[in-house]
Structure 1
Amino acid sequence: MSRPEDTLPPDLFYNDSESRKYTTSSRIQKIQSDMTHRALELLDLKSPSLILDVGCGSGLSGEILSASDEEGTPGGPHIWIGFDISSSMLGVALEKEVEGDLFLADAGQGVPFRAGTFDAAISISAIQWLCNAESSEESPAGRLSRFFNGLYASLRRGGRAVCQFYPKNDEQKKMISAAAVKAGFGAGLLEDDPGTKSAKTYLVLTVGGGELDGDITGVVKGMEGVDVLDQRRKVKDRRRPEDRKGSKAWIIKKKEQMERKGKVVKATSKYTGRKRRIAF
């Protein structure tokens, strides 16, 4: 069975007929509700917040964001703003009179809001569409870069985002998470029910928290005991101590390079690469 994003661009795939079919399906409503509640659990919001809903569609997630804490929305009711590329989906949301503000926009072109606007962001079943280029002038990498850079800027320092998506394969997972890390996020991939048909992938992002070096496992509720892929940590761990700048091996390698260029260098000794004590 072909994936929707492999057939048509989202603004064409979700036409009037498909948008109504999607919105009225009890199965879709249940899945969307479960994933939105899971995203809110990972956001761990303590009080009403301003939330961005990326790929908000017909407002299925937004209706949950607008619900009160007593109705099962942690910290709610929240104020939310949503944008989507499908005018048909937004049309259904307007007919339903959802409480959020709606914008017609393409996430692959960025996030059109002022820096530091939002406390948090969610995206349910949307960002995998960014991995498909719609013309020869575009690329998945470029679309992902514009989206995550814009999302990072739109969130306040200390803010969080949770993006649920359906990756096609491991390469797509890596491409998406790497784009988020490159934009500056602390990032981790969480999988619920891995290896099953009901598996769900969540990209959990934090803004700031540089003291954690991108490792979000200790700051995001619900991340304990799960398989987390942290791109920054992996890159850091791959660097051997002896290859770091200023180490003895690094200095010797640089000396050899300079010698090959015919330059005169100091002789290597047991003191090469050692840190000198400060003399008073």
Structure 2
Amino acid sequence: MASRPESSLPPELYYDDKEAKKYTQNSRIIQIQSEMSERAIELLSLPEDPTIRSSLLVLDVGCGSGISGAALTEAGLNWFGVDISSSMLEIALENEVEGGLARCDIGHGLPFRAGCFDAVVSVSALQWLAYSDRSTANPIRRQRAFFTSLYACMSVGARAVLQFYPADELQLQLLLNSAMSCGFTGGLVTDYPESAKARKHFLVLDTAGTRPMPAAQDEAGGRHSTKQQQPMRKGSKAWIMRKKEQYRRKNPDSKALPSDSKYTGRKRKPRF
């Protein structure tokens, strides 16, 4: 398996001048990022009326060099992007993108006033919040800081669509749990779920009420319904596995926990 960039260096170091330039000149990356940006915009379910769209302001989280911003502009939307990589933002400025830009570590929270964004998109950024590059950076705390501030800066009834690449099911559930614990409704939309290569995960989050979840795409080009995915139930096997994994990450040399087995989380029958 190819190494994941987020497990090697923090994003502001990984995307230096060399890597940022290579990233934004790779035609395949541009195509993939553009397609995922267009899909994220589709999942926002915004009005098609150009007059209404031109009055909306969309936040682009992890905007990079402006590939996703170009898709937002093409869709007739105004946008403001944040990214932690100065090198990526410099390329965006050189490309004269039509949105506003700011450097921001989303793990510290978003620095915007309440209710100022009508929608949010993010492409390939969220997974960076699942890693810490120093002992003082707790992934759970960083996720909560991001989702809490994201919820606050979105208008009532706004939707966020956040595409990401989870390393495993545990990481996916941690991000989903963090979002739901901060007040969001919604869940996960997974396109091409049967394909390991083409599979794409989107967190679709609403700030108010319970809207129907968008349909996911499948290999045949069709759509199928998506159920809202709820956070792990306390005491369930998934919850126990998550807690054990968190403990092992903090205490790598400890042997206090029993090994995982098919009996993990299994309820015992009462003794009489």
Settle same-fold status: TM greater than 0.5: yes
Can you list the C-alpha shifts for 1:30-68, whole angstroms capped at 9, x where unaligned?
10111011111110111312000000000000011111x
Q: Which residue of 2 aligns with 1:222?
A: 215
Establish whether residue 25 from structure 1 lines up as the match of residue 18 from structure 2.
no
Q: How far 1:167 moved relative to its partner?
A: 0.4
* CA–CA distance in structure 2, aligned partners of residues 79 and 15 of structure 1: 28
Q: What SS does the corresponding residue of 2:64 show, helix, strand or coil?
A: coil
Q: How far 1:195 moved relative to its partner?
A: 3.3
Q: What SS does the corresponding residue of 2:167 show, helix, strand or coil?
A: coil
Task: State, as a whole percentage, how many aligned pairs show the same letter.
Answer: 48
Q: What SS does the corresponding residue of 1:41 show, helix, strand or coil?
A: helix
Q: What SS does the corresponding residue of 2:224 show, helix, strand or coil?
A: coil
Structure 2 stretches lacking a partner, 5+ long: 217-222, 237-272
Report the more deviating stretch, 186-195 or 161-170: 186-195
Q: How far 1:225 moved relative to its partner?
A: 2.7
Can you list the C-alpha shifts for 1:233-265, whole angstroms capped at 9, x where unaligned?
x759x9xxxxxxxxxxxxxxxxxxxxxxxxxxx
Q: Which residue of 2 aligns with 1:182?
A: 181
Q: Which aligned runs of 4 or more in structure 1 are off by greater than 6 angstroms?
A: none
CA contact (8 A) 1:180 1:187 kept: no
Q: How far 1:230 moved relative to its partner?
A: 2.1
Establish whether residue 85 from structure 1 lines up as the match of residue 92 from structure 2.
no
Q: Which residue of 1 aligns with 2:67?
A: 60
Q: What SS does the corresponding residue of 1:231 show, helix, strand or coil?
A: coil
Q: Which letter does structure 2 place at the counterpart of 1:94?
A: L
Q: Which residue of 2 aligns with 1:123?
A: 122
Q: Which residue of 2 aligns with 1:50?
A: 57
Establish whether residue 100 from structure 1 lines up as the match of residue 107 from structure 2.
no
Kindly tell me the number of residue pairs found equivalent between the two proteins: 221
TM-score (normalizing by structure 1): 0.76
Q: Which residue of 1 aligns with 2:190?
A: 191
Establish whether residue 169 from structure 1 lines up as the match of residue 176 from structure 2.
no
**For the aligned residues, what is the CA RMSD?**
1.7
CA contact (8 A) 1:190 1:226 kept: no
Q: Which letter does structure 1 place at the counterpart of 2:63?
A: C
* CA–CA distance in structure 1, aligned partners of residues 208 and 28 of structure 2: 37
CA contact (8 A) 1:84 1:105 kept: yes
Greater CA radius of gyration, 1 or 2?
Answer: 1
Q: What SS does the corresponding residue of 1:160 show, helix, strand or coil?
A: strand
TM-score (normalizing by structure 2): 0.78
CA contact (8 A) 1:9 1:134 kept: yes
Q: Which residue of 1 aligns with 2:157?
A: 158
* CA–CA distance in structure 1, aligned partners of residues 14 and 227 of structure 2: 33
Q: How far 1:229 moved relative to its partner?
A: 4.5
* CA–CA distance in structure 1, aligned partners of residues 226 and 116 of structure 2: 31
Q: Which letter does structure 2 place at the counterpart of 1:61?
A: S
CA contact (8 A) 1:41 1:222 kept: no
* CA–CA distance in structure 1, aligned partners of residues 124 and 11 of structure 2: 12
Q: What SS does the corresponding residue of 1:113 show, helix, strand or coil?
A: coil
Q: How far 1:20 moved relative to its partner?
A: 1.0
Report the more deviating stretch, 222-231 or 31-40: 222-231
| Residues 169 and 227 (structure 1), Cα distance of their counterparts in 2 relative to 1, 3 Å cut | farther
Q: Which residue of 2 aligns with 1:253?
A: none
* CA–CA distance in structure 1, aligned partners of residues 11 and 214 of structure 2: 32
CA contact (8 A) 1:41 1:221 kept: no
Can you list the C-alpha shifts for 1:51-100, whole angstroms capped at 9, x where unaligned?
00000000000011111xxxxx2xxx111000000000000000000011
Q: How far 1:140 moved relative to its partner?
A: 0.6
> After superposition, where does 1:130-149 map in structure 2 within 5 Å?
130-149=129-148
